[in-house]
Every structure is written in structure tokens, then in C-alpha cells.
Structure 1
């Protein structure tokens, strides 16, 4: 992307989708579509030993970003390496040629309130430049044109706190389109991967396990993770997936996804109110929807989507 300063997109939990939206600009499909194309809506897992997250087991943002860019016909320069190499790469960033940076440890970013320690949660943002020893960035977590001391960035750029292996100091830059792909085609092409995610480790049994965790009482970290991040992010991406799949004629999967979004969104109040029984019941109601979604998507792959009726 060249010629125009990158426009800020953010203030939600889907940092990598927002970051990609910023660098793709008007040629991109927007964060909701990117999020769905990453494959993240198609499953449920435990992050580390006991933190629920609405994405498939084995899925990572790095896997999702690569999938979404490929489905959309885009490529970029993805690099990692030493500290010196990382600094050199972000030093070349400009508002018209920005650099997507991450994953970083979100808990170690000092401009994020009430964190201050590693929490095992990855984060991505868009670097606009290096001004002396200060990094200028668009942080999708709600901080446009934020600044961060370079040393603080480098400290958060370590990846040893994550539960999956990933190299440190990853950047993506020089995004360019190599194929013209419309969004409907990209969404249809994403469905086989969606089914593969859903036939992996059992999301239904994970939902049952989370229900028992809720009944036994959440730890402070589990509670904070759910009410500040997981529930809102999960409900949002499931709702977006429902709308987008309905638009390409996948009515059956869209109905299941909307039902999932409603169940997940309904978790927020009982969790905040400390109503363990109500929250656990919602998790248990969610459990059988995952095999149902897999079956509906498999049916679409066998028979093809219906032709959507214009509104």
C-alpha cells in the first residue's frame, strides 16, 4: 500500500484482522470478512490449560493470517530474525508504507491499562515509523497514533509466553495483490478449511469441560479473560460468519452460526453477575452446535450453496 497514510481501524478484540484491514486499505474486504477467512470462528478450545477461546484447537493467528491473505489473493513479505534485524525493519516503516508487527505479548505493552505482566495473549499492531527511540503505531486495541519506547516494544515482542511455538520479531510489509479474488469466491474457498477445523479436537467436549470449570468457580484470570475479551470477540466473529455465509447462500451453516453467536453473547451477563448455573447452562447448550455446524458445512460442500435471493 503506497500513496496514502494508513487509516486507523480498531477498538475491538480482533487485532490481526484490524491490522490487515489497515494495511490493505480500500482494496481489502474489512475486518469482519478477514476474521472469518482466517478460520477462527470454526471451533472452541482452551488457551493454555484453562482459558477458553473461541477458535479451533491448533489454530493460531499466524495460521489464520496466512490463510486469509492467500484466499484474498494477497501476498506480503513476512520476516523474522534478530533484534537488530527487527529494529531495521520497523525503522523503514512510514505512514504510507506501514509494517504489521506481531505477535507480541499484550500484557507487556505498557500503554495497555491494567496489565503489566505476561498473560499469554498475542497482539498485533501497525507500525507507522520509528521516531528516534520511540515507535509510532496504530494499535487496534483502541489506540490510534500511539507511541511506545522501542525498548518496551522489544520486550513485548518475545514469544516465549505463548502456548504455541512461533518465532520472535515477526513483521509483515510490502503487501500486494497477486490475484483478483472477490469476497464471495474467497468465502466459498474457505469452507473446506472450516470443515477441517471442525473435525479436529472435539469442540463439543471442550464446551462441556468449560461448563464444569464455570460451575467450580472461575479464577481471576479466567474471569477477566472471558468478560473482557473472549465472549465479545467470540460472539462478534460468529455473528459476522453467519451474515457472510448467508450472503453466499449457505443458509444452513449461517443459522447454526447465528445460534452460536446468540449463545455466546448471552454469556456476558451471567458471568458478570456471578450466576454460575446460567453461564454453565449456556456452555452446555453450545456444545452440540459444533458437530451440527460441521454437518451443515459438509452438506454445502457436497451439494453446493443455494443461490442467495437479492434483498
Structure 2
């Protein structure tokens, strides 16, 4: 299992224990965990498992606070494969100019595992491990030479983008903008159009959280106009631009763009899904379509599309932190319909 522990766990546990007036020995009597282990959890020297977090949560009557701060997700590799991947990454760090294809694949697999965890975990839990990996991979990419250097640089750009996305969700706005801009620039230099589009799309997401319609529109319009992107990426960006234009009161422009997006939607259904944008499928487009209609004050159409799009997501995705804005949008549309 891959384990993600919120860096605030130790402090929260200590505060809860003090609030209950318990010593470490007192907590030991309730939780049946050794005093030395409890001390290590409170100082951060030891990382609790999800089961231990639930146990401590019950003992401290924390109402789920501690349990929610530890997430474990299944690994998709065997122990031998994981060990081999770790060995190859270690070798790559020590000899970056000799990077090979299997080391690049190992790094890409590690990033894919972090992405999957984002569908289940609070982004704050993921940030320490993901940020540390981003720094390491970027350093490798800067030093790498040879036939696999380009592939490694693409993984580095993807890792930078994902780290920026986590910061955007956590509302670390300045760091999110810095990393997403850096990722978009890297993607353009590397000729990976979809990645550049996605980085600007994440910028648009951040601007939605900030509530600035002009910036929402600008970010998604930039994403939609990047040359060479797939039709799925272009339609997604266009629909999100429609939402921004609607919020700005530019209904005529919004309707024209919505018509163009509609024309592309059918043909986009035949596009192959980009592994780096695994969620971006024809079914997913019902969600930005719903957001577009919401921006145009067409509540019934927004409800139909948002409900269909959210309903088609895997169960874990529907409850994910990033899906909250779409759940809220559906609730607003239902109230207005």
C-alpha cells in the first residue's frame, strides 16, 4: 500500500490529547498503543497507518479528524517491481547522464500512482511526497543526456504540473501559478501540446476558485488556442471558456463559442484518451458542458449535463476533493431550475 500522511497529523494528535487532559500514559490505557509509539506519532518521527489513525481517532474521540489525515491506496506493482523501480531511480540519481528507458518508466509509474491517490486523498496529504519527487525529477531532467533525455523531461514537466495542481487545490495560489506556468512553458518547449493545454486548464480551475471571470476566460481561452491539442482537450477548454464568458455577461460570444464546441463534440468522441489526462473522456465533457450552461443561466440544461457527467464518474472520483466544485455547481443549478 502507498501511504500518505497529512503533515499536520502529529500536531493535531497532540492538541487533541491535551484537550482531553490526557498524558501519554493515559492515552496508552485507552488506545492500547505503547507510550514510545505514541510519542513518535506526536513528534512526527513515525508515520501511522490508516488503521492506527482510526484507532487513535476513536481513543481521542476526534470525530474522524485523525482518520481522515491518513490515506492508503493499493500499489499497482509487485514488491519485486517496486524494488526494481526504486533501484533504477536511485541509479538515475547517481548517474543522471546515463538515464535509461526503464528508469524513466519507473518515474512515470510513480507519478501515475500519485495521480490516482489524488482521487481519494486530501491534496495536502500528497504534497510533501509529490513536491519532493518533483524537485528530484526536475534535477534529473536538467542533467540527463542521451536518447531518453526527452522522455524524462516530459515526465518532469508532467510532475511539475501535477504539483501545481495540488497547490491549486490546497489554495496555495502563488506557488500553484508559478508551477503551472513553468509546466506550460516546459510543455511548449518539448512539443507536448496537450500538456501545455492542461496546465492552462488548471490555471483556469484556480481562477474559478478565486472567482475572477475575466481570468477564468483568459486561462481557458489560452488553453483552447494552443496548436496541436486533441479535440477532447480543445472542446473541454472551449466549454470552460463559455462558462467564463457567461459569468462576464458576454452572452453573445459565449453562445457562438458554445456552437463551435458543439460542432467539435461529436468528432471528439473518437479521440484516443491521453494517458496524462486519463479523466478527459467524451463522457467527462458533460461536466464542462454543464458548467457552460450554468454560466449562461440555463439551469435546466446545466442540471441535465452536470448530473450525467458526475453520475458517470467512478464512485471514488465523485467524492474526490476536486469534484466538490462540480457537486456545488449541480446544487446551485438544481436550486435555480
* Structure with greater strand share of residues: 1
Structure number with bigger Rg: 2
* TM-score greater than 0.5 by the shorter chain: no
TM-score by length of 2: 0.25
TM-score by length of 1: 0.27
